[in-house]
Amino acid sequence: MKFESSYMAQWTAWIRSNDKEIVSLLNDLARKAEEASGLLVDIFENFGKLQENHQNIKKIEREADALTHQVFEELNKTFVTPFDREDISRIASKTDDIIDYIEGISGRIVNFKIMSAPPYMLELARQLQRSAKEINLMITSLKKLKVDKSIIDHCRAVSAIEHEADDTYRKAVGDLLETTDVINIIKMKDIYESIEAASDRCLDVADSIEDVVLKYA
């Protein structure tokens, strides 16, 4: 009986350790997303730091890829997870997608040789940053799932921000199509669509977390 009790204690400790590792990796990913979104805002506020910010975003993107890979590794070797594997995988993948899109946006700014903030771009970047901050708050709160349903408020906040971003995107594209420079239209529309896609990934993460909260809280 003592052996069984000791074995069960070790087993429980191992499960809790893996739970902490997975949640910690998700927390790190969420922090990377918020950090990258802040650098994107800084790009549009201060083009003198464009190259520096772009290089820092690229570094974050590589670190985020490594963290996402670690999440999948933990899932593969863990029998019992803090919540459904599919939910963990989706949250990690979509959070990583946010960072991938941000890296793509900064890369386009550099490669398209854009030297000043286009109309609406800073507003869209700030909306994305607000959503990324909410994502970080939500994922950081996942460890409290059994007692904290206030995470839902953050989910709804991301949804509201995404609606704002949709409106801004439509205004931006509408104004852009009133211009006559075809090359500029193509470049700007590509960037606008990438920021909109990043905003959509934030909503995907929020929806996934809301599903988790409703299942387990």
Residue 193: C-alpha distances to residues 2, 38, 47, 206, 217 (Å): 62, 19, 21, 20, 35
DSSP single-letter state for residue 116: S
pTM over 0.85: yes
Q: What is the pLDDT of residue 38?
A: 98
Q: What is the pLDDT of residue 79?
A: 61
- How does pLDDT run across 93-134, given as a tens digit for each residue? 999 999 999 999 999 999 999 988 889 999 999 999 999 999
- Average pLDDT for 77-105: 88
Closest CA to 138 of 38, 211, 50, 215: 211
Q: What is the pLDDT of residue 212?
A: 85
- Average pLDDT for 164-182: 96
Report d(CA 29, CA 34) in Å as an integer. Answer: 9
Tokens of 155: 């989910």
Set out the domains of the chain in order of their start, with CATH numbers: 2-216 (1.20.58.220)
- Count helices and strands (H / E) in the chain: 6, 0
Query: Which of the four pLDDT bands, split at 50, 70 and 90, describes residue 140?
Result: confident
